[in-house]
Chains A and B, each alone.
Chain A
Amino acid sequence: MSAMKHSLLTLDARTKKRNAAEKRFKACGLSAIVVAMLALVVLLVSVFGSGASAFRQTYIAIEVPFPEAKLDQSGVRDPDVMSQVTTLGYEPLLVDGLLAAIDAAGIATEMSDKDIGALISKEAPATVRNFVLANPDVIGSSATFDLLASGRIDGFFKGRVTMESAALDGNTSPEALQLAQDLRDAGIIQTRFNWNFLIAPDASDQRPEAAGLGVAILGSLYMMIVVLVLALPIGVAASIYLEEFAPKTWWTDVIEVNISNLAAVPSIVYGILGLAIFINFMEFNQSSPLVGGLVLTLMTLPTIIISTRASLKSVPPSIRDAALGVGASKMQSVLHHALPLAAPGILTGTIIGLAQALGETAPLLLIGMVAFVREYPAAYTPDAGLFGEASTALPVQVFNWTQRADPGFVERASGAIITLLVFLLIMNTIAIVLRRKFERRW
C-alpha cells in the first residue's frame, strides 16, 4: 500500500472521509446558528407584534368647561378649598365637553350620556382636576385637553378590540366603537406616539391606558447606579488582590472555588439573603431601590470578579516583569500596566453583569419590589433616606402587568419588554464600543 503511488489529482479514501466529516461538522454548526437565529426572530416578532402598540395611545381632544358653581362655590379660588371637589365632580364636565364635541361634529348617536362618558378613560378626570388645582384662574372659562381614551377604545384602534368582541364585552359595545370611529373620522379622536408610556407611573387594574414605565425605569436606573458604584470597585479590588497579591495557598483556592459557585447560585437565594440581612436585620425600607441594588450587587459581584480575574490573567507576564524590572512596585505594575490592559475585559464583564442585573426579577420579588407604585418616589427625604422610597423595576413591572386581568396590560407588558430589550441593547453596544476604543489604542 505504502509503495503505491498516488496522484494528487485524485482523492484517496482517507482524505475523502476527512472532507466528509468536515462538511458534516460545518453543517452542524450552521444549523445550530440557524436554530438560534430563528428562536430569536420568533421571540422578537412576537414581542414587537404585541408590544409596539404600547408606544401609541388614543387621545380624545375636547374642550372642557369649568363652571364656578360646580368647582368653586366659595369663589375664593383657593386650591385647598377647591380640592374638596373630587374627581367624581369632574366626570360630568368631561362628558359635557365630549357631548358638545359630538354635537359640533354633527354625529348622531342613540347612546346614553353615561355610555358616551365611558369612552373617556377613568384617569382623565384626575388629569383635568390636577390642571384646575394648579391653575385656579381658569374657573369660569374652559380649556382644551387631549384626554386618554378608555382602554377598549384604544384597543379598538389598535385592532385588539373588534365589533364582535365588543358585543360580548360588558365594558363596551359596538355602538360605542362606532361612535369612536365617527369621532376619529371627525378628527376628535387621534392615535399618536405615547411618551407617557415611558414617563408615567403605573396605573390601577381598570386603567391600562394610563399605565406607564416611569417609576420602573427610574427604579431600575437607581439600582444600576447602586450596583455600579458598589460592585465595580469591590469586584475589581477583590480580583486584583486575589490575582496579584494573595499568596497561592489552600485558602485562596477555597475562595476561588466559592466565587465560581456564587456565580451559579440561583438569584432567588440572593433575594432571601437580602430579605434577611437588609430588610429584617438592617431595617432598610422594603421595596426600596437601595435594597434592590444591594441584592443585585451581591449577585453581580461574582460575575465581575470572574471576568476581571480572567482579563488580569490574560495580561502577559512579560509586561509585569518589565515593570518590576525597572523598579516599579507591585502596585505600580498592576495599576500602570496590568489594569489598563485588562480594562476592556473588565468593562465587558461589568456591563454583562449589569445587564444581567437589569433583567433580574426573582430576588426583587422577594424583597417586595413588586409593590404597586402609583407615585414617583421622592429622591431624598429624611424619613425615607436616599433611594429609600418604594419603587419598582422594569422586569418586575413586566411580571406585575402580566398578572393583571385587563387585556390592555398584555400590550403594556410587551411594551415594557421592548423597553427592557432596548436598554440591554444600548448597554451591550456601549460594552462593544468601549472595548473597541480601548483595544484600538495599540
Chain B
Amino acid sequence: MSIKEYRTAIEARGGLLVVKDTAGIAFGDRVQIKDHAGNTRNGQVIRSADNEVLILVFEGTDDLDLENTWVRFLDEPVEIALSPEILGREFNGLGEPRDGRPPVLSNIRRPVGGSAINPAARTYPREFIQTGISTIDGLNSLVRGQKLPIFSGSGLPHNRLAAQIGRQAKLVDQESSFSVVFAAMGVSYADAKFFRDEFASSGVLRNVVMFINLADDPPVERLTLPRTALTAAEYLAYDLDRHVLVILTDMTNYAEALREVATAKGDVPARKGYPGYLYSDLAEIYERCGRIHQRHGSITMMPVVSMPSDDITHPIPDLTGYITEGQIVLSRELHNQGIYPPVHISPSLSRLMKDGIGKDDTREDHPRVAGQIYALYARAQETRNLASIIGADELSERDRRYLTFADAFDERFVGQGESEDRSIEATLNLAWELMSMFPRDMLTRVKETDLAKYYQGTD
C-alpha cells in the first residue's frame, strides 16, 4: 500500500471527520489533515468501510472547511520516535516537541497503541518502594511495578503528594531512583509549571520525560497522550533497563475527552454518559504497567484521578479502582484540618502490599501492625460518629481512648512535612507508639511476640 490523499471530506463534528470515496484504508492508521489555512492536523482511522472512513482528529474539527480539507492516509500506525534523548524533553500527546527543540530523530519507532502483555510473561511485583510517607509505606505499601492511583478532589494537594513521591521513592538500602514519565492531560498551566519547577529544583529533570496537554489544548489529543507516554515508558523500561515511575494526571480529564468523542460517535452510554467501553479503555492504559520476566526495568504507575464532587462511586474513580492495584484516597476533611498529606486510610488500599512487606522486606511485624491500626482506626471512626451524636462526655472511658488515639493518629501518623522522608522503621515505630495507647489485651491483631518486642505501653 502507499500514502493516499483525498479531498472528499463530507462531515465534521465533535472531533470526527468523515471522508468518502476511499478505498482500502487500514483501520487504526495515522492520518494527516491539511486545513484551508495550510495548518496540519493529525488523526487516526477509527472506522473503515469500503468507501468511507471515520477519522478522529486529535486537534479537533473546529474551523474545518470541508471543501478545502486535504486528508492524507499515511499507511502507518500512530507511532512515536524513541531514543535516549527523550529524557529531559517535553512533548505533546503526539510526541511532538513542546520545548522548542527539534524533534527526536531515531530509527526506533513504536506504535503508541501498544499490545497486551501476555499474562504468562509477567512477574509478580514484590519489591517494596519506600516513599517516605507513613500512610503509604506503613499501611498501603507501594511495590515496583504496581499501579496505585491517587483519588483526589479539586483543590486537594494531589500534585504535591505525587511530586513528593516522585522525589522520595526509592528501594530500601538503594540509592537508585526512578526515571519519571510525566503525563499531563488537560491540566492548568500552573500545575504543569509546578511539576516542571519541582523536577528542576530537585535536580532530576534529566531523568524526566514530560508529555503535556494543557487545559486549553485540544481535548481529543488527551486520548492519545497517555498511550504515547506509556510507549516512552516501555522504551525506557524494557530497552534501557530503567525503573520508571509514570505519573498520569488527571485521568478524569482523559475520561471526559473520551466521553466527548463517544457522544459525537453516537456510542451507547452506560453510566453518566460514559461509554460502556470506558473500563476496557482505561484498562488498556493501566495494564501497561508491571514487571516482565527477564526484563530488568519496570513500570510503576501513579495516576491521579480527581473524583467529581468527591464521589468515589463516580464511574471514573470506580472503574479505575476496579483496574488498579489499590488506591490512595485523599480526604477534604483532613485537608481542611490542615493535615498534609490528607490521606484517608479507610478507603485506601494497596493490593500488592502483601508480598512486598514483612520479615525479609520491611519488618516482620509490619503486616499485623497495618491490620491492627486499621481495626483501631475503624473503631475510632465509629466512636467519633457516636460522639458527634451523643457527645463525648457520654462515652465510656474505653471509647474515649479511641478518640484520643484517632486525633493523635491523624495529627502525627497521617500528618507529616512535605519534605519529611520517613524511613519504614520510623513509620512502624510511630505506629507502635500510637498503638501503645491501648492496653495489650485490646491489641489482638498482633502476635504476643510482637507485643513483647515492640509494645511501649505501661500495662
Pairing of A with B: no
Report B's interface with A, CB cutoff 8 A: none
Report A's interface with B, CB cutoff 8 A: none
